Amino acid sequence: MNLSEANKKDIDVVLNKCGWRQTKQRVILLKSIFDGKDKHFSINQMNETLKDNRSYFSLTTLYENLNTLVDKGYLKQIIVDKQSFYDTNTTNHIHVYHQEENKIYDYDDCTELHKDLPIPACLALLEEYSLVINLKKKK
């Protein structure tokens, strides 16, 4: 979904589905998240993006808004090491958490694992799944 250049009608569809009234902050939030690119982000990363766009949310309000987007199926939440990350790609797919970078990647984009680590065959039998591979270098 790309809302970066969306008109009012397109944004109103998302706002209505979420049960929200339109505010400048929510429009900036939606456009920041749904800019047409699949991406992963933490609450702190999104908070910094919003500050860069001169939009300020309390962390509680930001959590509530992101959780509503998860509940309505616009985002997928990934929990790793007691941290919440969000993904704009809501299809079933495997994630890799890179501990040193504190970032989430799609398995297909993680070239250092992609060739050597086979995807478990049992995933094809599941209707829905969430699998995160925790990447930590050996000492």
pLDDT of residue 7: 78
pLDDT of residue 81: 79
The answer to whether residues 86 and 77 touch, using CB atoms and an 8 Å cutoff, is: yes
- Residue of 44, 103, 116 lying closest to 132 (CA atoms): 103
CATH fold label, 8-73: Arc Repressor Mutant, subunit A (1.10.10)
* pLDDT profile of the chain (139 residues), mean per 10: 79 92 90 89 92 89 95 92 90 80 76 58 54 59
pLDDT of residue 133: 56
pLDDT of residue 122: 53
Residue corresponding to tokens 């902050």: 25
Strands in the chain per DSSP E? 40-42, 76-80, 83-87, 94-98, 103-106, 131-135
pLDDT of residue 10: 85
pLDDT of residue 74: 94
Domain ranges in the chain are: 8-73, 92-135
For residue 2, give the 3-state DSSP assignment.
Answer: strand
